[in-house]
């Protein structure tokens, strides 16, 4: 049961992340939650026809995803904040 629920949660997270990644570049006119791969060539609407909108969507969605990931790390695993490189350098330098 735990393995099945883990697989279901992974599948959901994977599909949502792929959909959000595609949303940065355009949308499907045939369905709001369809990805570029399943949309069909003529139904896909690229943001590139409007340069300002294309930039705003790409930058806005990317910023929202980065903010969401930082908030999740801070809420779920605060000890994982930062890259860890300064800590490793300190440990390798002989200070614990």
Q: What tens digit of pLDDT does each residue of 53-68 get?
A: 889 988 998 899 889 8
Give a three-class secondary structure readout of 21-69. HHHCCEEECCCCCCCHHHHCCCCEEEHHHCHHHHHHHHHHHHHHHHHHH
Q: What local confidence, expressed as pLDDT, does residue 12 receive?
A: 93
Average pLDDT over residues 23-46: 87
- Euclidean distance between CA atoms 60 and 15, whole angstroms: 20
Statement: residue 7 has pLDDT above 90: yes
Average pLDDT over residues 63-84: 84
| Mean per-residue pLDDT, 32-55 | 86
- What confidence score (pLDDT) does residue 8 get? 95
Closest of 67, 51, 64 to residue 21, by C-alpha: 64
């Amino acid at each position: 049961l735990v393995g099945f629920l883990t697989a279901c949660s992974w599948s959901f997270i994977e599909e949502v992340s792929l959909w959000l990644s595609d949303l940065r570049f355009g949308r499907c006119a045939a369905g709001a939650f369809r990805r570029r791969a399943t949309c069909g060539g003529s139904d896909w609407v690229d943001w590139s026809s409007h340069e300002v909108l294309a930039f705003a969507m790409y930058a806005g969605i990317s910023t929202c995803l980065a903010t969401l990931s930082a908030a999740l790390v801070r809420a779920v695993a605060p000890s994982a904040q930062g890259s860890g490189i300064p800590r490793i350098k300190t440990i390798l330098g002989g200070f614990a």
